[in-house]
Amino acid sequence: MTELPAIRSLRDGAACAIRAADLDVKTLLTQEVARRWSARGLSLRSPLDTQVPDRPGRPEKPDLIPPRQVPKRALTTEKGRVALLHAIAHIELNAVDLALDIVARFASEPVPISFFDGWMRVAFEEAKHFRLVRDRLRQLGADYGDLPAHDGLWQAAHDTRNDLTARLAVVPLILEARGLDVTPALQAKMREAGDLESAAVLDVIYEDEKGHVAVGAKWFRFLCARQKKDPAAAFQALVRANFRGPLKAPFNDIARAEAGLTPSFYRSMTASVNT
């Protein structure tokens, strides 16, 4: 049985989970903190809290390389499907730390307690996703760490570490929303290749991610309303200031709108960011 550290508060537990390099400890601790917080068994903060790290704890593997150097493989082969699952595992691992970071780093923000309820549910589900994908990799004779991966996702967290509204614009409303755009095609390709087990894992992730984007959109709109700003205009200004590269079509407009992210946010920005 994996031994978990003592948890002083929500912020402390989230910071400890971010710091954990052992991925079993990271995911189990994340879910334990979420359970205790949901049961109101933790305070929000303590003077003795672990400091929030600038970078999350990671095992020695995978090697991190620039995004353009990550090889692309066809999903018609098992090697290709393993490569895709490995990339998804890496995304989900980063998503665990991103959800924890928004809780720990912004624990002193003047927001309702329900803000932290939403993000700890997201963290719990991202930990579940990582374990589902890792289990599927192991069934295919592979494991997380076997292939190289890139570090672009955490860079987005680092770049928005001092601005909660910018963090919400970039992480859930761009990066997580991108998952809603690309996952349906990946689900279909997995089924076409006869890999129904991997497709079933993607089904779980896709349904949960709609809720994660919705949490981001809810709190982005809340902060904009408090600041008396138009949310679509504020989103566009924050993206121009904090995101590198254009927003990529095609967009899953229906799933995005269901999550509260309407086309007025992103349609005009498809190729105009940072130009």
| Cβ 155 vs Cβ 162: under 8 Å | no
DSSP3 helix / strand / coil % (the chain, rounded to 5): 65, 0, 35
DSSP-assigned letter for residue 69: G
Q: Which strand (E) or helix (H) includes residue 133?
A: helix 113-139
Q: Please tell me the distance from the alpha carbon of residue 133 to that of residue 136, in angstroms, as a whole number.
A: 5
For 244, the token pair is 């590198």
| Cβ 44 vs Cβ 103: under 8 Å | no
Q: What is the pLDDT along the chain (275 residues), one digit of tens a residue?
A: 678 989 999 999 999 999 999 999 999 999 999 999 999 999 999 999 999 999 999 999 999 988 778 777 788 899 999 999 999 999 999 999 999 999 999 999 999 999 999 999 999 999 999 999 999 999 999 999 999 998 777 887 788 999 999 999 999 999 999 999 999 999 999 999 999 999 999 999 999 999 999 999 999 999 999 999 999 999 999 999 998 878 888 999 999 999 999 999 998 887 544 43
For 57, the token pair is 């704890």
For 56, the token pair is 């999350």
Taking only Cα atoms into account, the Rg of the chain, rounded to an integer number of angstroms, comes to 18
CA distance from start to end of the chain? 52
Q: Please tell me the distance from the alpha carbon of residue 35 to that of residue 41, in angstroms, as a whole number.
A: 8
Q: Which strand (E) or helix (H) includes residue 205?
A: helix 196-226
Residue 77, pLDDT score: 92
Q: Which strand (E) or helix (H) includes residue 39?
A: none
Prediction pTM value: 0.95
Q: Please tell me the distance from the alpha carbon of residue 206 to that of residue 89, in angstroms, as a whole number.
A: 14
Q: Which strand (E) or helix (H) includes residue 208?
A: helix 196-226
At 62, is the secondary structure helix, strand, or coil?
coil
Considering only the C-alpha atoms of the chain, give the largest distance between any 2 of them, rounded to a whole number of Å. Answer: 54
Residue 271, pLDDT score: 57
Q: Please tell me the distance from the alpha carbon of residue 148 to that of residue 49, in angstroms, as a whole number.
A: 33
